[in-house]
Amino acid sequence: MRQQLFYVAVGYVCGYLMISWMPDVTPFTWVNFLADFTFRPLHSFLAMACFFIGFLANAMAIRTMVEGAVQLFIRKIVNWHEWLASYTVVGSFYWLFHLNKRLSLLFFIFSVVYGMIAVDFSSGHRYKKLL
């Protein structure tokens, strides 16, 4: 449970920092966006690093949500605390959408796609079977 809450907290903080460090170009033009990205390299690098770390952390919480739902559907044992704790990722995306809709949507799509790719439907994890 703590691990899932840690993933959600890291995902939210990284999402918040990514949104705050990305250049806000209104109205959006590629030239101004790339110029701001180029002339502020530290903010650009930190925003990209936060995006990467954040969507990986959120993807792990989404993976737990999906695996728990499938296990519940096929009537296997579900770790309820871990499964319900992973649903707090929905609230973190809710708050991120209030900050910036476009970047949050991009962040959400990457997290969901990677989370769905990482789903493991086998009864045990592969690394435990190899031991």
> Tens digit of pLDDT for each residue in 12-66?
999 999 999 988 777 778 888 888 888 888 988 999 999 999 999 999 999 888 8
Query: Cis peptide leading into 23, omega within 30 of 0?
Result: no
Please indicate whether residue 124 or residue 63 has the higher confidence score (pLDDT): 63
The reported pTM is 0.81
pLDDT of residue 53: 96
Is the backbone of residue 120 left (phi > 0), alpha (psi -120 to 50) or beta?
Answer: beta
93: Cβ–Cβ under 8 A, 6 or more apart, which residues?
15, 58, 104, 107, 108
- Find tokens 């031991």 and name the residue: 131
For the chain, percent of residues with pLDDT exceeding 90 = 40
| Residue whose structure tokens are 């954040």 | 54
* Confidence label for 127 from pLDDT (cuts 50, 70 and 90): very low
